[in-house]
Amino acid sequence: MKRLGILNSDIARVLAYMGHTDWICIGDCGLPIPDEVERIDLTVRFGVPSFMEVLKEVEKDMKIERVILAEEIKEKNPSVLKEVNELFTGNDLKVALDFVSHEELKKMTKHCKAVIRTGENSPYANIILQSGCIF
């Protein structure tokens, strides 16, 4: 039995087979997920688990070189944006945040290895993480 890192077998599997520049998305409970993309549904009820809880655990287990968010988060959800910014610009991470329209982000999910659906019920709490190289 695994004792460290992400215990969810689907998330752990997807992270293990990701290569450099592959994408994974973490989304709120309302993000539409294309039928052809793997859905990892963690939603228990509104707010559980939260977007940030899931993002922080994935970040610990994944080398991330790029982060993509919806431009609308700046105005519609500044508190989540602040937490994301602190996570990726604090410590030694220094990952640049890129912004696209929410419509573009939804289109980009078609190219993700998987979309992790959280219980988050605040607007525009969606992120695409681009895998970096570990060597």
The string of pLDDT tens digits covering residues 45-66 is 999 999 999 999 999 999 999 9
51 Cβ neighbours under 8 A, 6+ residues apart:
26, 27, 28, 80, 118, 120, 122, 125, 127
Helix (H, G, I), strand (E, B) or coil at 112: coil
Backbone angles phi, psi at 107, to 5 degrees: -65, -35
35: annotated binding-site residue?
no
Q: Could you tell me the residue ranges of all domains in the chain?
A: 20-131
Which of the listed CATH numbers 3.40.1650.10, 2.60.120.10, 3.50.50.60, 3.40.120.10 matches domain 20-131? Answer: 3.40.1650.10
Q: What is the pLDDT of residue 65?
A: 94
pTM of the model: 0.95
Q: What is the pLDDT of residue 92?
A: 65
Catalytic-residue membership of 111: no
Helix (H, G, I), strand (E, B) or coil at 38: strand
Tokens of residue 77, six digits: 């959800």
Q: What is the pLDDT of residue 127?
A: 98
Q: Spot the catalytic one: 20, 56, 107, 110.
A: 20
126: annotated binding-site residue?
yes
**pLDDT-flagged residues of the chain (< 70):** 91-93
Q: What is the pLDDT of residue 94?
A: 74
